[in-house]
Amino acid sequence: SIILTAAVFIQGSVLPKGRFSNDEDPMKCAERAYTMPSPDGSDTAFICRSDGRVDIWISASGLSRNITSGLPESLCLFPNWSHDGNRLLFFSYEPESLPYSRREGEIWIYDLRTAGTEKVEVELSRGEKLRVRAPFWISEETIAFLGCNEPSGRNFDLYSYDLTAHRLEVLDRNPPHFRWGDAGSSHFLSEAPLSGPENLRVIEVALGLNREQRFQMDSILKAEKRKLLFIKARTDSIMRDRSLTEEEKRRLIMEFLEKEGDYEGIRRSTTDGLERLLGPLKFDLFRDVVESLWFLQMAVPALEIRR
């Protein structure tokens, strides 16, 4: 691994402090998703869309509080509890502030004990600022996140950051399992074990889709899933055929995939359909949300960086 020098700036108490109160009753917010219980189950964090913003709320002991309403960025996503349940890690950015490849994002830590929020802003030693996505806890004082510092904004590296020692480390350079061509397409939504209503709900809330857009997106994704299931069923059938030799099975599968199994074509068709439906701005946001979902739910366990 490569150790980098990082300049880290902590901005404390940037959000209003105060006790939880029913004045901010989350039940008035119908657009909510990504419910994350704390380790001991006493508190719950979730994202909520209201008045053009997506904020993070915490419910504790029957009382609730919006913890991100004071942030300048209008999109706050993927709350992640520390192991002891005292802190909440998340990231935010402003979807409309810059072109996609220049949206940097911010990492935040909310402390339930002080009701204070700190911003962790990480820069490389040469003064470059990382675009960050999908932060999560490795241990009580170490977080990890996806970061990108190239102009295209397409290839992310996996970083860890020690909050105590102030050390930034590259865990994986451009992980092969995390590229837009593979993970960021809608193919994830058809194949991920946590796809279905949970992930789709996160996308709907983050993007602010109306009922017609939700229906059309669901239709596009279901069409993709039917095609993928057809390919799987046919290849499984060939593999189960005991009358065929292994060489014959390989040949038949290759012939079938060349004729019917155009994975890239299926992904491209689905991606084009979603971009036409959502428009360029929301499609970029769709990509950000799907990439982060995929990484947090699939790549993190695969890398065995877990609690």
pLDDT at residue 146 tops 90? no
Hey, which residues does 63 pair with through a beta bridge?
Answer: 60
pLDDT at residue 306 tops 80? no
Could you tell me whether strands 31-37 and 43-50 are parallel, antiparallel, or unpaired per DSSP bridges?
Answer: antiparallel
Mean of pLDDT values over 213-225 = 87
Mean of pLDDT values over 263-277 = 84
Of residues 5 and 228, which shows the higher confidence score?
A: 228
pLDDT at residue 243 tops 90? yes
pTM over 0.85: no
Q: What is the pLDDT of residues 99-134, one digit of tens each?
A: 555 667 889 999 988 888 998 877 776 767 778 888
CATH number corresponding to 2-174: 2.130.10.120
d(CA 289, CA 188): 12
pLDDT band, residue 87 (cuts 50/70/90) = very high
Q: Which amino acid is at 295?
A: F
Hey, which residues does 137 pair with through a beta bridge?
Answer: 143
Q: What is the pLDDT of residues 154-201, one digit of tens each?
A: 677 888 899 988 888 888 776 655 544 444 445 555 555 445 677 788
CB 134 within 8 A of CB 295: yes
Residue 105 phi/psi, 5-degree rounding, is: 80, 155
d(CA 77, CA 56): 7
pLDDT at residue 81 tops 90? yes
- The dihedral built from the CA positions of residue 30, 36, 278 and 272, taken in this order, carries a sign that is negative
Q: What is the pLDDT of residues 1-56, one digit of tens each?
A: 334 444 333 333 333 333 444 445 555 566 788 888 999 888 999 999 887 889 99
Q: What is the pLDDT of residues 67-79, one digit of tens each?
A: 998 888 888 989 9
User: Which sequence spans correspond to the domains of the chain?
Assistant: 2-174, 190-286
